Every structure is written in C-alpha cells, then in structure tokens.
Amino acid sequence: MAGSYLESTRKQFEYYKLLGDKTFAQLSDEQLYWQYNADSNSVAIIVKHLWGNMLSRWTDFLTTDGEKEWRNRDAEFETEDKTRAALLAKWNEGWSCLFNALNQLSEADLEKIIYIRNQGHTVMEAINRQLAHYPYHVGQIVFLGKMLCGEKWQSLSIPKGNSASYNAEKFSQEKSKQHFTDEYIKKPDANDTNENE
C-alpha cells in the first residue's frame, strides 16, 4: 500500500505541476505579473510563494523543521524581477526540491514524525498537507489564466459541452486499474530527449 501511496502522490504532484506549466504557456509575460488590485496576487506572486514553501518544506525533509529559519515568507508576496525566465526558474527549482525529497522516501518513512513550526506530523500527513496546499494555489493560477486569456483559453480539463462524448469514450473501454493522471503525464521514452526537463 505504501509504495502505491508514494507513487500516487508523486503522480498527483506531477499533474498539478503540468496544469501550471500549461497555464504559463498560454500567458504573455505581462499577464504573468497582472494583479487585480494591490491586495491580490498575480500568477508570479503565487509561483514565488509556492517556490518559497517548497524549498522550506522539502529541503532536509526528514531531519529539519519544515519552516526554515532562512525562509522569508512575507517577501514571497512582493513582486520582483519581472521576467518569465526568472519566474520559471523559481517554479522548476521548487518542484525539483519536492520531487528529489519524495524520491528518497520509502515505506519505512511514512510513520516517522517530522515538524512544521514545531507541530509534529507523520511523513504521510506532511505529504497530504502539501498535496492539499499546492493544488489550492495551482487552481488560483489556472483561474487567473482563464480570466486573462478569455475566449483564447485552451481548456485544461473536459471543455464545456464535451462531458457526454468524453464519458462515452471512457465507458467504451474495458475496466482497468490505472491512475487518473496516466493519460495526462507522458512518461519520457528512453530515446527521447527533452530540453525542457
């Protein structure tokens, strides 16, 4: 069960990263930094917050408190260096930190206690906490993307009006055990070379 839990959580994290990636691809550089008002967050600010949280939570995941002394959470909500390259570098650095930590975990680690601001969590609870937190913010990114793109938005789920045909195609297939993200996350072929990875 634990092996499948770790595999499932990794796939879900990969899926939500993909939703962010596909949103960024539809937005202009200017749109990444657009704010509704001074108190609202732009896509860029949300990314910066996720980056700070990921580095803090997943660095030395099993051995140090998840709220690192070097983290400056308040600064994550300030706009800076308005470039797509800088933004995507933070996005990818945060996710790399997460996946590196997750890849080192085993079944034996799941009941270990780790701390976030001195509050004890089992490793499984800590993973679940982030698996709720990150999709919450990715959903905000997608919502902003959809608003900013308007009619040009390319749906990241089942487009409006297509539910019946989507379900018909799914129910025409034999029942099988698979993860819901398998159709979205393409596993790289051994012969593939992807410069973006």
**pLDDT tens digit sequence for 40-81:** 999 999 999 999 999 999 999 999 999 999 999 999 999 877
Q: Which amino acid is at 132?
A: A
Residue 53 covered by a domain: yes
HEC string of 108-172?
A: HHCCCEEEECCEEEEHHHHHHHHHHHHHHHHHHHHHHHHHHHHHHCCCCCCCCCCHHHHHHHHHC
Residue 60 covered by a domain: yes
**pLDDT tens digit sequence for 23-36:** 999 999 999 999 99
Q: CA-CA distance, 125 to 149, in Å (whole number)? A: 36
pLDDT: which is higher, 184 or 186: 184
Residue 105 covered by a domain: yes
- Write the Ramachandran bin of 57: left for phi over 0, alpha for psi from -120 to 50, otherwise beta: alpha
Chain centroid to CA 84: how far? 18
Strand-pair partners of 120: 115
Cα separation of the two ends of the chain: 29
Spatial CB neighbours of 185, under 8 Å, sequence gap ≥ 6 = 11, 14, 15, 18
Q: CA-CA distance, 23 to 180, in Å (whole number)? A: 20
Number of domains in the chain: 1
Q: What CATH code is carried by the domain that includes residue 122?
A: 1.20.120.450
Half-sphere exposure of 186 (CA within 13 A, CB side): 6
What pTM, to 2 d.p., does this model score?
A: 0.88
Residue 190 covered by a domain: no
Residue 65 covered by a domain: yes
Residue 177 covered by a domain: no
Tell me which residue range forms the domain holding 145. Answer: 2-171
Residue 183 covered by a domain: no
Say whether pLDDT at 18 is over 80. yes
Q: CA-CA distance, 143 to 96, in Å (whole number)? A: 24
pLDDT confidence band for 187 (50 / 70 / 90): low
Residue 185 covered by a domain: no
Q: Are 102 and 13 in contact (CB under 8 A)?
A: yes
How many C-beta neighbours within 10 Å does residue 183 have? 9
